[in-house]
Amino acid sequence: MFTTRFQAWVRRNAQRMARLLGRLPITPNQVTVAGTLFTFVAAVLAGFAQLRLAGVVLAISGTFDILDGALARATKRSYPYGAFLDSTFDRYSEGAVYIGVAAYFLGHADPYMRWEVLACLLALAGSFLVSYVRARAQSLGFVCDSGIFARPERVVVTVAGLVIGVWWVLFAVIALLAVLTNITAMQRILEVWTQARAQRRAREAAAQAPPRGEASRL
């Protein structure tokens, strides 16, 4: 994940922008929807081989993705539905980007095309798994924040690959995402497994311990 210093810098500037936006009649959910629409535009541009412009638009959508949560906190309008909507639309956004990139690759008749599209599918599956594992783990009471490639890293790397605008660089970026997203999902699975094992051992130890009254007589 990004360094703590960089995260603090992003949050600080996002809060400043959120305070300005808070003076306007704009809700966090509207920001979420706007960011998703920008992502769809980026996906369409990528599909039509406008890679650099797609990268710029995707970077703009990433700003919206940061601002919606900051605006919710700044205006004290943090609701469970807002978090749900944000998480759901994030998945739509990621899916749209990979579909757009796959469409771009399909438009190039070269012998590596099948590998390019396969990389898109693997990256898409890995990205969805990273988010799903975290959401499912947290719903069961586990802490699940580890991993080398969370959503911010994925967006930054994808934007870089699009802005460079060369097909083989974009292919390399997608292949990298295909590997690192699935590694991140496995890291999170291992993290949850470690916590589950510790819980199980704690329960077993508690079950084997003698009752308090019996222990005092001993």
Are 105 and 120 in contact by the 8 Å Cβ rule? The answer is: yes
Helix %, strand %, coil % of the chain (to 5): 80, 0, 20
Burial of 50: CB neighbours in 10 Å, binned 0-12, 13-18, 19+ = middle
Task: Please report, for residues 20, 33, 126, the alpha-carbon distance to residue 37 in angstroms, rounded to integers and kept in the order given.
Answer: 22, 6, 23
Marked catalytic residue, from 65, 68, 86, 90: 90
Other CB atoms within 10 Å distance of the CB of residue 204 = 10
Which residues, 6 or more positions from 189, have their beta carbon under 8 angstroms from its beta carbon?
A: 133
Told to judge if 145 belongs to the known catalytic residues of this protein, a careful annotator would answer no
Handedness of CA 76, 63, 90, 141 (dihedral sign): negative
Which active-site residues does the annotation give? 90
